[in-house]
Structure 1
Amino acid sequence: MTSPSGLPVPVGASAALHLLQALARVPAERLSGTLTVTGYPGGVFHLREGSVMAVESPGAPSVATILLATGRITEGQWAAGSGALAPESLARASVGPATLHAMQAMVTLDGAFAVAAGRIDEVELIEGEPAAGWDPAHGVEPGVLLGEAERRLRALALSRVPICPFGDRPLLAGPVAACANRARREVLEKVNGRRSCRDIAFLLGRGLYVTTMEVAGLLAEGMVSLPEPPGEDPPRDGAAPDVHAAALPRRSRGASGINRPEVVRATFRPPFQARMRIPEKGPIEPDEAPE
């Protein structure tokens, strides 16, 4: 199923359809302003003259978060800039215009992935003047942004053990020292059963997508595992019991073979509906602040 603009639309996801329709208007009408997506984790698309200049989401690290987490700028330098990336702070961190542009583009793509990988409830487009400091030449076309988000969701859904970047909290299943890959070993050092891929990305100062795929690889190698899903929730007050569900036999985890690669590939859903365990509600809060 596609929208009038030709963009892919997940069947039955009206809010996601509204997001696609709103983004399709951006280049056609050369819109400026903000496109706010309410959901889990949600986010804000900053628009300027038909391009997406940035996507800010609580589900993905910002440029400032990455610089702080990696030690390229200090808390004092951040405070001296009044909570902004002041030119003098960037100069101390050896971040030139080209590097900053590359980081902003990476964060924009990562923010769009975070929004698409979560739950989309409402979409609000407010036209107006964009925030200062963004060069229109450095924007990302909405079609390119959506295409990359789709590619990333598809890659994650087709991994051997799909994982939710926000809801799943992996556990160590092997010794950290046994991992020869430095990048994955650094991820393993942050795995403790309480942190999601999103939390680990914030702690390490890495992109959400890159971190999530690293964890998916560690899952496939047996270095980490996912906890057993919780038992059935008790029926809500006043809710009628599910007679059909009560009559179904219980099955052990893995008995259906749903996690086998060929089954995951056969049951892949369109963008914004990849098979992930998405929390139903609640704000995203990191279990621990970035170090």
Structure 2
Amino acid sequence: MSGPPDELSHDPAHHPARHPAHRPAGGRAHDPAPPVPPAARNVPALLLALHRTGFTGSVTVSSAPGGTIHLEQGLVTAIETPGAPTAETLLLKARRVGEADWATAETAASAARPVDAPAAWGGDLGAALVAQGSIGATELEAVCAAAAFDGAFALVLSPPGSWEIAESAPPARIALCPGIEPQRLFEETARRVALLTRLWGPPGELARTRIRPAAAAESAASRIPVRYREVLAAATGRRTPRDIGFALGRGVFSVLLDVVRMDARHLLHRETALPAATAPSVAPRTPPSGPLPTATGPLPRRVPGARGAGNAGGHGRPDSRPEEAAGASDGPPNAHRTETTETTEKSRP
């Protein structure tokens, strides 16, 4: 993709998607639903197939953190995921829309909802915000596009999981109209991943890294851009770039790009990255093939005060906790295993 989301050109003549507010009572068109592909090897292949059939509904991805991809006539109109701020978060946290105006728009959207529509369909909140003058239609479109691209980027930072297709799912209350072709979404996502990988490394690892200001940040505060100062103020040592994006009302990709550039200027201190979320194993547990070991002698006597052979004289507290000992070395986590293996190999005849 050649340009950022806010430079997208959406021509309704080429994208005949219907806005949620223009749907008939009940929220979905009365036309027969297009056939859903019976199988797909991954989510991108699924979205391409749904685009070809003009599918309207949602795809819920169950990876960590996962999310919901909303489609209208095969075009992606919104992506809601805990991994990236939605259009609602971008509008409220960045103070593009005030809370009072937001509450008024929610009331208006609910009142305009068709009588026979399900209660979960709260109405077209985006249209209500534009109608009451809280935000312009062009700006809202840019924010929705930015949130959709950022949501797609966040989804690829975690291992893929299963998915579920729903034709009767509630549409996003703030959605891009018309939506984005899946192929354009994939191209932009690939460009972002490639850029961060070239500048820093695996973006998924960077997204899980907690950051805080470095010692040089205070003296350089007057010479760095305002956006960098905002990141420094939000970097508490407990927050990841994703958390900072939610706090500031900015996209995760935008924050990650700033973090890379700030790290190159020695403005940040990076903590150890959080472990990647993985699904628990569901493999059946089988007993060992050989016989269980049996005790051949008396049980060892317990000496009061002795908590481990590593303590001087067998008394006192352990030298450190396991997690502190693991973080004390600058080498890789399994370096001690490599050294042990090399020593064993050398001792063999």
- Residue 137 (structure 1) shift: 5.6
Residue in 2 that maps onto 1:108: 148
Q: State the AA in 2 paired with 1:226.
A: R
8 Å Cα contact 2:58/2:69 also seen in 1: yes
Q: 2:231 aligns with which of 187, 190, 202?
A: 187
C-alpha spacing 1:239/1:42, structure 2 compared with 1 (3 Å): farther
- Residue 214 (structure 1) shift: 0.5
Residue in 2 that maps onto 1:79: 103
Question: C-alpha separation between the residues in 2 aligned to 1:132 and 1:213?
Answer: 28
Largest Rg, 1 or 2? 2
C-alpha spacing 1:216/1:162, structure 2 compared with 1 (3 Å): farther
- Residue 171 (structure 1) shift: 2.2
8 Å Cα contact 1:161/1:216 also seen in 2: no
Residue in 1 that maps onto 2:300: none
Q: Is structure 2 residue 86 aligned with structure 1 residue 62?
A: yes
Q: 1:227 aligns with which of 250, 254, 271?
A: 271
Question: C-alpha separation between the residues in 2 aligned to 1:136 and 1:172?
Answer: 36
Q: Is structure 2 residue 46 aligned with structure 1 residue 30?
A: no
Greater displacement, 40-49 / 160-169: 160-169
Q: Could you tell me which runs of 5 or more consecutive residues in structure 2 were left unpaired when the two chains were aligned.
A: 1-39, 110-124, 276-285, 289-333, 341-349
CA deviation string 1:172-219 (max 9, x = no partner): 112245142221121111111101111111111111110111011111
Match runs of 1:207-246 below 5 Å: 207-228=251-272
C-alpha spacing 1:186/1:53, structure 2 compared with 1 (3 Å): same
Residue in 2 that maps onto 1:147: 187
Residue in 2 that maps onto 1:249: 339
Aligned residue for 2:237, secondary structure, equals coil
Question: C-alpha separation between the residues in 1 aligned to 2:63 and 2:150?
Answer: 16
CA deviation string 1:86-145 (max 9, x = no partner): 656446775211111111111110110011112322112223477387888621000110
Residue in 2 that maps onto 1:167: 208
Question: C-alpha separation between the residues in 2 aligned to 1:133 and 1:161?
Answer: 36
Residue in 1 that maps onto 2:114: none
8 Å Cα contact 2:44/2:182 also seen in 1: no
C-alpha spacing 1:188/1:30, structure 2 compared with 1 (3 Å): same
Aligned residue for 1:188, secondary structure, equals helix
8 Å Cα contact 1:177/1:185 also seen in 2: no
Aligned residue for 2:194, secondary structure, equals helix
Aligned residue for 2:59, secondary structure, equals strand
Q: State the AA in 2 paired with 1:186.
A: E
> What is the TM-score of this pair, normalised by structure 1?
0.67
Aligned pair count reads: 228
C-alpha spacing 1:52/1:183, structure 2 compared with 1 (3 Å): same
C-alpha spacing 1:183/1:133, structure 2 compared with 1 (3 Å): closer
Residue in 2 that maps onto 1:278: none
C-alpha spacing 1:150/1:73, structure 2 compared with 1 (3 Å): same
Greater displacement, 22-31 / 138-147: 22-31
8 Å Cα contact 1:50/1:141 also seen in 2: yes
Question: C-alpha separation between the residues in 2 aligned to 1:31 and 1:201?
Answer: 31
Q: State the AA in 2 paired with 1:178.
A: A
Q: 2:220 aligns with which of 170, 174, 178?
A: 178
Residue in 1 that maps onto 2:245: 201
Aligned residue for 1:71, secondary structure, equals coil
Greater displacement, 153-162 / 121-130: 121-130
Q: 2:166 aligns with which of 126, 130, 133?
A: 126
Q: Percent identity?
A: 32
Residue in 2 that maps onto 1:46: 70
CA deviation string 1:21-73 (max 9, x = no partner): 21121222111111111122211110111111111111111222112112232
> What is the TM-score of this pair, normalised by structure 2?
0.57
8 Å Cα contact 1:161/1:220 also seen in 2: no
